[in-house]
Structure 1
Amino acid sequence: MKKICFLILIPFTMYSQNVVQETEFLLDKKKYEQAEVIIEDHLLENPSDPKSIELLGDAYAYQSKWDEAIEQYKKLVALSPDNAEFHYKYGGAMGMKALEVNKVTALFMIDDVEDAFLQAITLDKNHINARWALVEYYVQLPGIIGGSVSKSLQYANELEAISKVDGYLAKGYIYEYDDEPELAEKYYKMAIETGGSLTCYEKLTAFYEKQKQPEHAIQNMEASQKKHHRNALHYQIGKVAAEYNVQLDKGEACLQIYLKNHSAEDGVPKAWAHYRLAQIYKYQNNKDLALDHIDQAISELPKIKVFKEEKSLILKL
């Protein structure tokens, strides 16, 4: 009898594993609604499976269905109160909900949000994401209901003690948000010097673009390209050149390289590179080349409104 029961359990276990793997695959591919349907059905038969509950919560969270996500993560915390990640996700969903509701409602949620993140930190002394969440939460929360740069800096300092790069990036983020660009730039540069990851370079580039400093942004992306050798950076350089009408020859060369070496991993469709080239040629009063590239862009992605608007501008040259 025991053998029969064991044999019955094998396909059921394999089925459960397959459902979990399929859901994870769909979430990775950003097919959140499909993932939600599959894992919801699975949970009807396995209502207490922590992994399935977590995946359903994740599917909801990716779709900004915060009430539903909170419900699932709350179940996880009840099932596994010693799991730091579950407390972190629960706090994160509540925090995102608090940012969307009115100030009075948010005021009553603040303590629960902070408690969840602090519990994650207590359970896992090196939990980086929970500290990042506290940094972002207190920066974005209006001061009248508890937002505080000083509180954000407190958690940024804790991050720095665990990971200097994360600490520097957090401080760059805080000072950028607090309109202190010199300090923001300083810490983003320190993150690059210490870690040098693609993310570090991207944060500084984004900062320069927000500060309307395209020359600095291009210089930073070139430094990143030398280190990381990513074709996607060729597009980004061309994009900034086209948007700000600067270093057009460099922008043109980078976009041509991007098109020549393009692959699905680069992320941005070739049509957008053609669009940026059309902008550059328009600035150079080269109507024929501008039309050629904007037509290629429209041919590849005919529903993009800005492509057609750009063509109208080129035709007026």
Structure 2
Amino acid sequence: MHPIRSALVAFAFFTGVCRLFAADPPAEELLKQGRIDEAQTTLRQVLAAQPDDANAHLLLCRAYYAQDMGDDAVHECELAASNAPSSSEYQFWLGRAYGLKASQVNMLSAFSIAKKVRVAFEWAVQLDPANVEAMSALGEFYVRAPSIVGGGLDKAQALVAQLQPQSVEKTHRLLALIAEKKNDNATAETEFMRAVAAGRTPEAYIDLSQFYEEQKQADKAAATVQASIQANRAKNASLVDAAGILTTLHRSPDIAERALRAYLASPAKSEDAPAFKVHVQLGDLLRQRGDAAGAQREYAAAVALAPNYAPARKAMQGT
């Protein structure tokens, strides 16, 4: 073959290979789509070549977190944080991973791990005082955790002033949580409603609906869920929360089903509601409605995305 023609063929082949790889979604996109097995495979390949890649460790932590694998999530987030110690995001995720692990162990161990949750969230806020997610998580920790591990309403209240300039909605949410903890339900309702008024976000409606659900006000909870669904133009993870509340309330299963299907068809899917978990949730709903074949399809879809997710495999065997 002529040298020039040979070079052109080689170039064309190289270009085709580059396009092939460029067409593959990056690991974070796979994670958001719920394609957890593919995401993990991609990330392990990255880490085999670059063991100190902090972002790859973080994404693998998030993949394990999505599957409720606390020990593995903590291990990967610790590696991410150690390789990028100045990252507020990595500390925030480390706190979340510790929180997951704490929920999976006995009480004595949970107390020890809870202190690590607090330290990670506090460090995330120190590293980036504008990190709203970290501040909101830290505030909720202060409200819910006992003082022996660093919780306290005084600490939560002190955080309000720092959160206020960053997010009016999250500030009112934190004030609502503080009021709830004080058993001041009237103030809590007012603050949740102010959070809704601040932005009319589907997430704020969900918080208010969950409050009504806890207060055994089913009609208000159901109505607020409907408002959340109507406000959710992006079709994001709040649709999954909405469906879950309706199912718990034994209300409008058809609306719950539509919400789950809308989320699964949406480009706004995220690991906040991993697609494989949503397929299981939809399968459970269909099974309750007498559609065993439909339920089986959803469980199979979950297993295809996350073969190691035990609840999906168990659900398949139970249909």
TM-score interval w.r.t. the shorter chain? 0.5 to 0.7
Query: Which amino acid in structure 1 is aligned with residue 295 of structure 2?
Result: L
Question: What are the superposed Cα offsets for residues 99-139 of structure 1, whole Å, 9 maximum, x if unpaired?
Answer: 44445444444554333322222221201111122123233
Query: Bigger shift: 125-134 or 111-120?
Result: 111-120
Q: In structure 1, the residue corresponding to 2:28 is in which secondary structure? A: helix
Aligned alpha-carbon RMSD (Å):
4.3
Which of 108, 115, 119 aligns to 1:115? It is 119
Whole-Å Cα distance in 2 between the matches of residues 126 and 41 of structure 1? 34
Decide which of 259, 262, 265 is 1:265's aligned counterpart.
262
Give the share of equivalent positions with the same residue, in percent: 23
Give per-residue Cα distances to partners, 1:131-153, cap 9 Å, x unaligned.
12212323333444443233233
Q: 1:20 to 1:170 in 2, by over 3 A?
A: farther
Is the 2:283–2:297 Cα contact (8 Å) retained in structure 1?
no
Give, in angstroms, the shift of residue 214 of structure 1. Answer: 2.2
1:243 aligns with 2:250: yes
How many angstroms apart in 2 are the aligned matches of 1:28 and 1:213?
34
The Cα of 1:187 is off from its aligned counterpart by: 0.8
| Structural mapping, 1:43-58, within 5 Å | 43-58=47-62
Aligned to 1:68: 72
Which structure 1 residue ranges, 5 or more long, are not aligned?
A: 1-6, 245-250, 276-293, 305-317
2:53/2:83 contact within 8 Å kept: no
Corresponding residue number in structure 1 for 2:179: 175
Instruction: Please name the residue that 1:148 is paired with.
Output: 152
CA distance in 2, matches of 1:241, 1:40: 38
**Matched-pair contact (CA < 8 Å) for 1:214–1:241:** no
Instruction: Report the more deviating stretch, 53-62 or 106-115.
Output: 106-115
Following the alignment from structure 1 to structure 2, what is the Cα–Cα distance between the partners of residues 21 and 75? 24
Deviations 1:58-87 (A, max 9, x none): 112222333322232222223222221112
Amino acid at match of 1:301: A
Letter in structure 2 aligned against 1:152: A
**8 Å Cα contact 2:160/2:174 also seen in 1:** yes
1:240-270 superposed Cα distances (whole Å, 9 cap, x missing partner): 89837xxxxxx6xx95x899x8894255869
The one-letter code matched in structure 1 to 2:197 is E
Tell me whether 1:24 sits opposite 2:21 in the alignment.
no
Report the residue type matching 1:185 in the other structure.
Answer: E
Q: Is the 8 A contact 2:143 2:177 kept in 1?
A: no
Q: 1:242 to 1:50 in 2, by over 3 A?
A: closer
Closer, same or farther in 2 for the Cα pair 1:157/1:98, shift >3 Å? farther
Q: In proportion to residue count, which structure has more helix?
A: 1
Deviations 1:292-313 (A, max 9, x none): xx66x45643799xxxxxxxxx
CA–CA separation in structure 2 for the residues paired with 1:68 and 1:271: 27
Where structure 2 has 5 or more consecutive residues not aligned to the other structure, the ranges are 1-10, 265-280, 299-319
Q: Does 1:207 align with 2:211?
A: yes
